[in-house]
Amino acid sequence: MPITPEQQAEIDALRASPRQTLRAVSEGMEEHLYKAYPVLDHGFVRVIDYMGDDAAICQAARVSYGKGTKSVQNDEGLIRYLMRHWHSTPFEMCELKLHVKLPVFVARQWIRHRTANVNEYSARYSILDREFYIPQPEQLAAQSVINNQGRGEALTGAEAERVLEILKGDAARSYDHYEEMISDEGKQGLARELARMNLPANIYTQWYWKVDLHNLLHFLRLRADSHAQYEIRVYADEICKLVADWVPFAFKAFEDYRMGGAALSAGALDCVRRMLKGEEVTKENCGMSAREWRELEEVLEG
Amino acid sequence: MPITPEQQAEIDALRASPRQTLRAVSEGMEEHLYKAYPVLDHGFVRVIDYMGDDAAICQAARVSYGKGTKSVQNDEGLIRYLMRHWHSTPFEMCELKLHVKLPVFVARQWIRHRTANVNEYSARYSILDREFYIPQPEQLAAQSVINNQGRGEALTGAEAERVLEILKGDAARSYDHYEEMISDEGKQGLARELARMNLPANIYTQWYWKVDLHNLLHFLRLRADSHAQYEIRVYADEICKLVADWVPFAFKAFEDYRMGGAALSAGALDCVRRMLKGEEVTKENCGMSAREWRELEEVLEG
Amino acid sequence: MPITPEQQAEIDALRASPRQTLRAVSEGMEEHLYKAYPVLDHGFVRVIDYMGDDAAICQAARVSYGKGTKSVQNDEGLIRYLMRHWHSTPFEMCELKLHVKLPVFVARQWIRHRTANVNEYSARYSILDREFYIPQPEQLAAQSVINNQGRGEALTGAEAERVLEILKGDAARSYDHYEEMISDEGKQGLARELARMNLPANIYTQWYWKVDLHNLLHFLRLRADSHAQYEIRVYADEICKLVADWVPFAFKAFEDYRMGGAALSAGALDCVRRMLKGEEVTKENCGMSAREWRELEEVLEG
Amino acid sequence: MPITPEQQAEIDALRASPRQTLRAVSEGMEEHLYKAYPVLDHGFVRVIDYMGDDAAICQAARVSYGKGTKSVQNDEGLIRYLMRHWHSTPFEMCELKLHVKLPVFVARQWIRHRTANVNEYSARYSILDREFYIPQPEQLAAQSVINNQGRGEALTGAEAERVLEILKGDAARSYDHYEEMISDEGKQGLARELARMNLPANIYTQWYWKVDLHNLLHFLRLRADSHAQYEIRVYADEICKLVADWVPFAFKAFEDYRMGGAALSAGALDCVRRMLKGEEVTKENCGMSAREWRELEEVLEG
């Protein structure tokens, strides 16, 4: 259970007190504010605050005095133009602040995106909760035999059982020992900043993460991609839903020009042109490596 | 006149339409939203949007589920502690978006602060207005004889008149020529992206500028400082007033720990310790350069 | 003439004194160090320093103890893989430091790329030189009638002559006045930080600009592109030549996957798939806007 | 043992092959290149590459054509001036690339400094080594009773023994289980990207970390400080030694103006002024909180 009743009461209190503002408001995002959307077994994503909406992108692109909107239709066209031609600065004019609860090994991947602001729960100052990510059986995958950094089939039978037994047992024991070490009942009690080193990477942490829309979309392009590790992809997928409701035009353009599209190399583009002229292009005569040819085939088959 | 009646009408329209939100609201900042505060002869600063308030700084520092506020008193204490100990990330959780109209030579100083998002009015795409910064007589300063990059006394008499005559005349002529070159009446008309090169650095430009509170305070520390060029300092001073109303606790802590304080070097600190022990410390025995000694004297005299 | 004899002597002195180092050395780049490559009428690009080479990209990708190179062939394959799959961090491990002399209006475009380090010649502290960019006749282009921020045909005849006359005359006059205002012969002399405001945007400035290879390639993708303004594109083109000699594998991959390739939207990709199946896809049935259809046609025609 | 004989041989090979370069060379830093300086029980810091030296800071500040050095004495004065007046951009013109081996919980603190380039050893792609940080007995500290995020006295006797027993035992067991889970002998073998979640935060990781001198000094100011956690401070201390040999003038100025100095708040400065006028200032009449008064006392006592 990601949220305690006390935490839920705090969230409900926040949602019960609308106030007046003169700022841009996104009705779609107001629906999501503060709510905890579950991800994995104990994690969540919550929107804490946002700045701007689709119109704010146009307003900044036009450096306008008023709303910047001429018409809804114009706005969508402008946003698509900006996305298509990599004019990124107007998208930077929207900002999102999330509260995320996530396993430490996911947090370590996530933090590589440096163009964001982060405040993480401090294990020097506070005591971590006893919550660990234990994969669902269908996610207990074997090492991929094709891709050195991917997953293959799910483990089965006794092997799967043994893995779950290990993960659960080690998590429980390490946390028991963590508690024992920091306890000052009848003894000194180890400093928290030291005791935390005994905890495994599937323990949950949490942070406030704030990012502008341009950098958020870049994050989503890499992390909502099928090559991303499953445990971070589910967070990206959840955030995609929130962004779709927050800035629908921008998100639609992102889907069309980034997620659903493809980047062709000079060699791949040459192959496509030859194909369209009726030439039979093959692995042998394509002029690219076997791997690049396979990737092009996948793109063209869809 | 920085704002036309049409622009003022757009601003009034935006201020006439409050909406409901569940987000953090700063009453102090709502008062300022969209209004154009004049700076220099044709410039202004306008708040377009903001994210967060004093409580949001504490909420992020505590990674909390609810407001993060225990009491107003606690919040102020926490904010002062964070500022004093250079914990910058909670301040990054607030964000400000401004619309600024400013002379190009001021914009060129301003843009050196890279940790912000910017959308500038495009002189490739649009035609610039005929508006130039002409200093007030008391700002027509001579080159400083002490400081290689500062100002001395104001110019007087015929010299001051001649400078104003030059600045006004060259601005008018260069703009007339700009208009003539881009005009396509009876001729082709030079491309705007080329014609703009004839315009001097005191022409006004404008941009949307978005920055987090931590980086904004860093900007203000450098640009609201007495060593900053007057023409950028007046913008920083105006922004200080807005920040004081937006996040009063954070701004007060900033004034106490950054603006009103002083950074002592190891050598200067050693001098102060010797003085407090009753020793007579002089330029000769202070162990620092003449310049550093003078700077310490200024700090201690206040 | 971009370089005085005294400056050339300083450059020659630097090139005459090789020293020993244990660091990675790029023979291709050593050839270019310190030399001033002319751009436009008075500008230049000079390499002041560099860090890393192709092997250093691989070394970082492998987090290796030694050179990180297994074989030259492996290195090229790895670099192509990293580029194709947007693994940008190994490219960030190379760094380039340039000295650039450029017109102010070009500098204003350039500085929008914020992920770089910059030290610009200070017109508060120093006096600017009397050097202005005056376009070659074939670059005196009219405003484009298709593209709001582009150029059309070159101006001809009397119109072209008049434009040159204006640009030269206004530059000369504004500089004469600049000199007159700052002169302290028999008068106070206006502060430099004020006098500079009278100078037009085609005056030359100069800066040291330092950037990592990943961000440099991003800059080159946007600025060596045919849609970039000519006056910044010639700088990007010159830098491309330097990068090609510095990190040949990385530059080749950049050409194949970024410059020479194309990003297809979901809609464009769908059109290509339909075409390859033999369907006749037209402007009418393509499912995209007229503009997007035209852009796709251009990509497929090459 | 942080380095295997094979790794040492690779390092020796790199140090045995000096080459010629025209770039700026720091003799002090050449001595350190590639060598592994041990930190903690299995960690190290190694310099992989550097760009620039003290003269390069001055060269950039002066935007010069040649070395930028007028005299060694002038250079030191300029560097001190730049440091004292927070002119940070010339320091950004030097760059350092390190290879660091460090426990994961230290890496998690370190990565909060976002203005750096990082390539970390991938536990999705590769298998981690069996190396864990086990503190020395004198570092097995109790939780501080004054400071919520600090350490107190070292644990003693049976409690210390028990903690070491836990840390060693849990590390060994979790690694045995990690190996068992990924093994594909007679079974499928769990994907590495999943198996790693069982490993505790004291396991060692390694990365290439590249940063400019300005941001490096900011990192060192925070992490070589007495309030930083011991396990990151020892890395910062080791890096300080390297920087002192690389850019001696800059490091000396850093020690004088940042590390050895003190930032006084407006209130603290007021107290110092009153003291120097002979007034007896006390906790009661100082006008600051008890905590701030104690901090001022510590500064003034030295």
pLDDT in tens, D83-123: 998 999 999 999 999 999 999 999 999 999 989 999 999 99
B125 in contact with D at a CB cutoff of 8 Å?
no
Task: Count Cβ atoms below 10 Å from residue D299 Cβ, excluding itself.
Answer: 18
Instruction: Find the range with the poorest average confidence among A69-83, A112-126, B185-199.
Output: A69-83
Are D93 and C63 within 8 A, CB to CB?
no
Q: What percent of chain A has pLDDT over 70?
A: 98
C5-125+204-259 CATH fold? Gyrase A; domain 2 (3.30.1360)
Chain B residues touching C104 at Cβ < 8 A: 108, 201
Q: What percent of chain B has pLDDT over 70?
A: 98
Q: What is the pLDDT of residue C72?
A: 67
Residues 6+ apart with CB under 8 A from A294: none
Report the pLDDT averaged over residues D266-271: 95
Domain boundary assignment for chain C: 5-125+204-259, 134-201, 266-301
Per-residue pLDDT band for D192 (boundaries 50, 70, 90) equals very high
- Indicate which of B256, B277, B291 best probes the interface with D, i.e. most D CBs within 10 Å of its own CB: B256
Report the pLDDT averaged over residues D288-292: 90
Stretch 209-228 of chain A: residues touching chain B, C-beta under 8 Å: 210, 212
- Nearest-10 crossing angle of helices C54-61, C72-84: 70
Are D260 and B269 within 8 A, CB to CB?
yes
Report the pLDDT averaged over residues C16-22: 96
Closest CA to B290 of B152, B146, B148: B146
Stretch 135-154 of chain B: residues touching chain C, C-beta under 8 Å: 135, 139-144, 148-153
Task: Count Cβ atoms below 10 Å from residue D151 Cβ, excluding itself.
Answer: 20
Phi, psi of D263 (to 5 degrees): -100, 115
Q: What is the pLDDT of residue A144?
A: 86
Q: What percent of chain C has pLDDT over 90?
A: 86
B69 in contact with A at a CB cutoff of 8 Å?
no
Residues 6+ apart with CB under 8 A from A98: A45, A46, A47, A48, A208, A209, A210, A239
The yes-or-no verdict on residue A68 having pLDDT over 70 is: no
The yes-or-no verdict on residue B69 having pLDDT over 70 is: no
D5-130+202-259 CATH fold? Gyrase A; domain 2 (3.30.1360)
Report the pLDDT averaged over residues C77-98: 95
CA–CA min distance D38, chain B (Å): 30
The yes-or-no verdict on residue C70 having pLDDT over 70 is: no
Averaged pLDDT of chain B: 94
Report the pLDDT averaged over residues C233-258: 97
- CATH match of B5-133+202-259 with 3.30.1360.170: yes
Task: Count Cβ atoms below 10 Å from residue A182 Cβ, excluding itself.
Answer: 17
What's the burial of A186, exposed, middle or buried (CB within 10 Å: 0-12/13-18/19+)? exposed
β-partners of residue B20 are: A20
The Cα–Cα gap between C83 and C251 comes to 10
Q: What is the SS3 string spanning B59-118?
A: HHHCCCCCCCCCCHHHHHHHHHHHHHCCCCHHHHHCEEEEEEEEEHHHHHHHCCCCCCEE
pLDDT in tens, C92-106: 999 999 999 999 999
pLDDT in tens, A127-180: 999 999 999 999 999 998 877 778 899 999 999 999 999 999 999 999 999 999
B52 in contact with A at a CB cutoff of 8 Å?
yes
pLDDT in tens, D230-260: 999 999 999 999 999 999 999 999 999 999 9
Per-residue pLDDT band for B40 (boundaries 50, 70, 90) equals very high
Report the pLDDT averaged over residues C63-75: 75
Per-residue pLDDT band for A208 (boundaries 50, 70, 90) equals very high
Averaged pLDDT of chain C: 94
| Active-site residue, from B84, B223, B233, B294 | B223
Whether A162 sits among the annotated catalytic residues: the reply is no
pLDDT in tens, C141-170: 999 887 777 889 999 999 999 999 999 999
ipTM above 0.90, yes or no: yes
Q: CA torsion angle for B16, B18, B19, B25 (degrees, to 10)?
A: 150
Report the pLDDT averaged over residues D188-211: 97
Residues 6+ apart with CB under 8 A from D301: B273
CA–CA min distance B298, chain A (Å): 38
pLDDT in tens, A6-46: 999 999 999 999 999 999 999 999 999 999 999 999 999 99
Residues 6+ apart with CB under 8 A from A13: B66
The Cα–Cα gap between D63 and D57 comes to 10
